[in-house]
Amino acid sequence: MTTQALEPTLPRYAEACLDAVATSVLAAAGVPGEPNPLRLAPAERTCVLLVDGLGWELLRAPPAAAPFLSELAMPATPLTSGFPATTATSLGTLGTGRPPGRHGLLGYQVAIPGTGSLLNALRWDESVDPCQWQPGSTIFERAAAAGVRATRVSARQLQGSGLSAAALRGAAFAAADTPGMLVSAAADALAGEGPALVMVYYGDLDATGHLAGCGSDAWRYQLAHVDKLAEQLAAALPHGSVLHVTADHGMTDVPAADRIDADQLPALREGVELLGGEPRARHVYCRPGAAGDVLAAWTEVLGERAWVVTRDQAVAEGWFGPVDGAFLPRIGDVVAAPSGSCAVVATRAEPRESALIGMHGSLTPADQLVPLLTYEVT
């Protein structure tokens, strides 16, 4: 175990996390049997705008760049995203209303047990059935079963992805490839008779942060576009609708000096069968009998720059929430969550991911804290 002096920001599953957002939205829509820990008011028409990469700390830093969202944030308190704080896992959490240990989407890259290979959750693998990988019901399936019209609005290319099938199945799909199309499609989906739930996904802020850095002028300019998107949604939604704005994770810029390259340090590869996860949330899968030595090596190399724990300790401390036994082998024998602005890259095995400027995944406030902003259309 690491001697990390700082305390991790652990997810507050079922209380103030993305799973609580999901169940509370369903409860507010009148779906029976769903808890409402966030005490959301009843709403016949609900739109959830999921802005990829809109961390709470990032939103609060430049209020002038996002006046509409900043005003909504004034009375709000942040939520946690869950671990790892990454899109695939967070979509599973928000899309099912369960913590990662219950839905099984446990990271960007996780082991496919018994195969010796990794599943990249964003690119998927045709040999893996998404409905078996994540067999539980989604919030859209539960909404539809209760008579709530459910629609998902996002870019056309995301319609048939494996991740969408695993985490978001059960909703009608409305393709929208520009911000204006997102607004129009969401407003149309909420119109009509009876209760309705719409989830709108916007990914360009995250892409900008990865490529240019979340501390860049480019990111702030992109945030202004997000602010206008949210403002237009609020103006376009039908009377009586509620708009909730949230995110899947925050982001941290990682300087070159804070990048630890596992492909250049033999100590971080010794005894390792597969290196999964991503630079700020590593699943380390060990060769038989090597877990203890791998834990010791990673702890020594990373020191106070990361929380390094065994699978059992991560589960016991609640990193993933309660974990179903069938999903345990998907978690690394050793799990490493960098603190500060540190990252464990792998420049040969993961050249694209290792070259990114903005990264996320860990248990720091910058990674974990996300907003839940609410606007009622009167």
214-to-28, 59, 64, 69, 174 alpha-carbon distances in Å: 34, 11, 16, 17, 29
Whether residue 3 has pLDDT greater than 50: no
Instruction: From 285, 259, 289, 225, select the one nearest 350 (Cα to Cα).
Output: 259
CA dihedral 257, 258, 264, 269 (to 10 degrees): 170
- Please tell me the predicted confidence (pLDDT) of residue 64: 83
| Mean pLDDT, residues 210-238 | 97
The helix or strand, by DSSP H or E, that contains position 92, with its residue range, turns out to be: helix 87-96
| Mean pLDDT, residues 128-144 | 98
Instruction: From 248, 358, 345, select the one nearest 302 (Cα to Cα).
Output: 345
Whether residue 6 has pLDDT greater than 90: no
Q: CATH 3.30.1360.180 residue ranges in the chain?
A: 256-359
CA–CA gap between residue 281 and residue 107 (Å, rounded)? 8
| Mean pLDDT, residues 211-231 | 97
pLDDT confidence tier of residue 5, bands split at 50, 70 and 90: low
CA–CA gap between residue 372 and residue 22 (Å, rounded)? 11
Instruction: From 152, 36, 139, 134, select the one nearest 88 (Cα to Cα).
Output: 134
Q: What is the pLDDT of residues 93-124, one digit of tens each?
A: 999 999 999 999 999 999 999 999 999 999 99
Q: Which amino acid is at 72?
A: L
- Please tell me the predicted confidence (pLDDT) of residue 142: 98
Residues 81, 367 contacting (CB under 8 angstroms): yes
Neighbours of 367 (CB within 10 A): 30
What is the average pLDDT value for the chain, to the nearest integer? 96
Q: What is the pLDDT of residues 229-281, one digit of tens each?
A: 999 999 999 999 999 999 999 999 999 999 999 999 999 999 999 999 999 99
Instruction: From 119, 144, 115, 145, select the one nearest 134 (Cα to Cα).
Output: 119
Tokens of 151: 């629609």
Q: CATH 3.40.720.10 residue ranges in the chain?
A: 18-106+116-252+363-376
Q: Which amino acid is at 365?
A: P
- Please tell me the predicted confidence (pLDDT) of residue 4: 56
Tokens of 337: 């969550």
- Please tell me the predicted confidence (pLDDT) of residue 192: 83
Task: Please tell me the number of Cα atoms within 13 Å of 139 on its side-chain side.
Answer: 30
- Please tell me the predicted confidence (pLDDT) of residue 1: 41
Q: What is the pLDDT of residues 166-200, one digit of tens each?
A: 999 999 999 999 999 999 999 999 998 899 999 99
| Mean pLDDT, residues 360-374 | 98
Q: What is the pLDDT of residues 46-87, one digit of tens each?
A: 999 999 999 999 999 877 899 999 999 999 999 999 999 999
- Please tell me the predicted confidence (pLDDT) of residue 292: 98
Tokens of 291: 């877990």
Hey, which residues does 307 pair with through a beta bridge?
337
The third-level CATH classification (topology) of the domain covering 18-106+116-252+363-376 is Alkaline Phosphatase, subunit A (3.40.720)
Hey, which residues does 334 pair with through a beta bridge?
284, 310
- Please tell me the predicted confidence (pLDDT) of residue 265: 98
CA–CA gap between residue 187 and residue 18 (Å, rounded)? 24
Question: In percent, how much of the chain has pLDDT > 70?
Answer: 99
Instruction: Identify the architecture of domain 256-359 in CATH.
Output: 2-Layer Sandwich (3.30)
